[in-house]
Amino acid sequence: MTTLSGHGRVNDLESGRQRSTMRDVASLAGVSVKTVSRVINAEPGVSEELLARVRRAAEQLDYRPDFSASNLRRADRRTSTMGLMVEDVANEFSSAVHAGVEDAARERGIAVLTASIAGDASRERDAVRALASRRVDGLIVVPSGAADSSVWSEGGVGIPIVFVDRAPRGVAADCVLTNNNDGTRAGMAHLLDRGHRRIAFLGGVARLDTAQERYEGFADALAAAGIPVRPDWVVRDLRNPDDASAAVRTILASDDRPTAIFAAQNLLSMGAFRALREAGVNRSIALVGFDDFALADMLDPAVTVVAQDPRTIGRRAAELLFERMADGSDSPRRLVVPSRLIVRESSLIPPPPA
């Protein structure tokens, strides 16, 4: 076995191979199991002497309490474990949310189980089942939009859930969101202020509220400026950077080019930037993206973004979940973590003189 044995520990032989139980500790300390239980759980009412004896025995046997056994018998049935379901743990936004969730969870001694669902409905179902079977105390979910909301009613039964980034339609639940519409309007206002009138829009999976709200923010901003939406400059349902690059190439192929592009998500901004650069127009067509991303400020030109704060979003979601688990009152809460416009260079490109 690669199982590590205790290098240089005194009692290698007794403790090394076999996991010791409370009973082992009890018999070594010469007390009852219940006394050991009291010591391990820091319950009051154990004499100093026994306390010391039990501790020593536990140390000697390298005793580790068994969460599942404890949980099984315990009245509240808490596992001190929560689940986090995201699109893809390797994605910059998801992993920042994850980090925020971990921060909050660690403070409370709660462990985090993660599952990437990759926009796949069946994986979404499987993940819920897997987490439910492991009796997580709660769930934080960035819904993929692939599965309909029934997953959350059938599957989530009995587990408190907090949704992040977007709530599935028709399910009233706690959620932590970004102000998508306002954020997009702020980005658009900035472009309009700089004289842009011909602006293209690159949007994500339209079924998601997030994407929908950002599109509406775009449309609202144009409407407020008295500019009609040009359907040929609006491409939605884009799923990855390559989709976005292709969309930009198509738009650029026309004689009638926009002077600026709004990309509604970080992967789309990256894809758009790539296409602009490959076409050699990265310094002549303006770009604003929703979501910040690493090195956005190091590109040429540095990309202006409407930045979300995914780590804070994750932390708030976890805190909301813990409150939920504790009180369980019946009014779903909706938290908005504001976005902010970070003006860099890509939006400062003026429209060409007509």
Partner DNA sequence: TTGAAAGCGCTAACAA
Partner DNA sequence: TTGTTAGCGCTTTCAA
* Binding positions for DNA, rule: CB under 7 A: 19, 21-23, 31-35, 37-38, 40-41, 44-47, 49-50, 65-66, 69-70, 72-76
* 225 or 312: CB nearest a copy of itself: 312
* 298 or 354: CB nearest a copy of itself: 298
Q: How far is the CB of 132 from DNA (least distance, A)?
A: 11
Using CB distances below 5 to 8 A depending on partner kind, what does residue 34 bind out of DNA, a copy of itself, none?
DNA
Q: How far is the CB of 39 from DNA (least distance, A)?
A: 9
Using CB distances below 5 to 8 A depending on partner kind, what does residue 2 bind out of DNA, a copy of itself, none?
a copy of itself
* 69 or 111: CB nearest DNA: 69
Q: How far is the CB of 256 from a copy of itself (least distance, A)?
A: 27
* 116 or 180: CB nearest a copy of itself: 116
| Residue in this structure with the two tokens 């986090």, named with its chain if needed | 84
Q: Torsion over CA of 287, 288, 290 and 293, rounded to 10 degrees? A: 70
Q: What is the largest CA-CA distance in the chain?
A: 92
* 44 or 226: CB nearest DNA: 44
Structure token pair of residue 162: 């907090």
Using CB distances below 5 to 8 A depending on partner kind, what does residue 1 bind out of DNA, a copy of itself, none?
a copy of itself
Q: How far is the CB of 42 from a copy of itself (least distance, A)?
A: 15
* 50 or 341: CB nearest DNA: 50
Cβ atoms of 203 and 263 within 8 Å: the answer is: no
DSSP single-letter state for residue 155: I
* 127 or 200: CB nearest a copy of itself: 127
Cβ atoms of 55 and 62 within 8 Å: the answer is: no
Using CB distances below 5 to 8 A depending on partner kind, what does residue 119 bind out of a copy of itself, DNA, none?
none
Question: Could you give the 3-state DSSP secondary structure of residue 172?
Answer: coil
Q: Is 254 exposed, middle or buried (0-12, 13-18, 19+ CB in 10 A)?
A: exposed
Using CB distances below 5 to 8 A depending on partner kind, what does residue 311 bind out of DNA, a copy of itself, none?
a copy of itself
Cβ atoms of 149 and 138 within 8 Å: the answer is: no
Q: How far is the CB of 277 from a copy of itself (least distance, A)?
A: 6
Cβ atoms of 38 and 46 within 8 Å: the answer is: yes
Using CB distances below 5 to 8 A depending on partner kind, what does residue 46 bind out of DNA, a copy of itself, none?
DNA
* 1 or 354: CB nearest a copy of itself: 1
Q: How far is the CB of 47 from a copy of itself (least distance, A)?
A: 26
Using CB distances below 5 to 8 A depending on partner kind, what does residue 171 bind out of DNA, a copy of itself, none?
a copy of itself
Using CB distances below 5 to 8 A depending on partner kind, what does residue 33 bind out of a copy of itself, DNA, none?
DNA
In angstroms, the Cα distances linking 67 to 64, 123, 143 are 9, 27, 29
Q: From 207, 200, 101, select the one nearest 147 (Cα to Cα).
A: 207
Cα 11-13-16 angle, rounded to 5 deg: 90
Q: How far is the CB of 119 from a copy of itself (least distance, A)?
A: 14
Q: In what order do the strands lie in the sheet with 234-235?
A: 234-235, 199-202, 260-263, 286-290, 304-307, 340-342
Q: Is 19 exposed, middle or buried (0-12, 13-18, 19+ CB in 10 A)?
A: exposed
Q: How far is the CB of 105 from a copy of itself (least distance, A)?
A: 10
As a residue count, the chain comes to 354
